């Protein structure tokens, strides 16, 4: 089951949830404030798959990190825009 990342617009907490792909964009309750004002961010499952398949062409040099903003460590802000 894919791991999806969601961000809450009310308390700005980011949380990861394992759920079926068919429910990826279904509304989900914030794990912090239990509000419903949440949005799906980057799929970590897809991000890891892309890293494994195309590591030699990674924008950050193949050492992981965020391919969107180039941050050397995991980035939880990209994809929210």
| Minimal distance, residue 62 CB to Zn ion, in Å | 35
Contact call for residues 28 and 71 (beta carbons, < 8 A): no
Stretch that binds Zn ion, among 26-34, 39-47, 53-61, 70-78 (CB under 5 A): 26-34
- Using rule CB under 5 A, residue 19 touches Zn ion: no
Contact call for residues 27 and 36 (beta carbons, < 8 A): yes
Contact call for residues 13 and 80 (beta carbons, < 8 A): no
In the complex with Zn ion, the residue whose CB is nearer, 13 or 50, is 13
Distance in angstroms (rounded) separating the CA atoms of residues 20 and 72: 30
- Using rule CB under 5 A, residue 33 touches Zn ion: yes
Which spans of this chain sit near Zn ion (rule: CB under 5 A)? 8, 10-11, 30, 32-33, 35
């Amino acid at each position: 089951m894919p791991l999806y990342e969601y961000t809450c617009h009310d308390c700005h907490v980011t949380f990861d949830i394992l759920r079926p792909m068919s429910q990826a964009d279904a509304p989900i309750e914030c794990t912090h404030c239990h509000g419903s004002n949440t949005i799906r961010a980057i799929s970590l499952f897809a991000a890891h798959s892309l890293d494994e398949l195309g590591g030699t062409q990674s924008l950050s040099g193949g050492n992981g990190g965020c391919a969107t903003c180039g941050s050397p460590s995991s980035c939880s802000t990209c994809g929210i825009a």
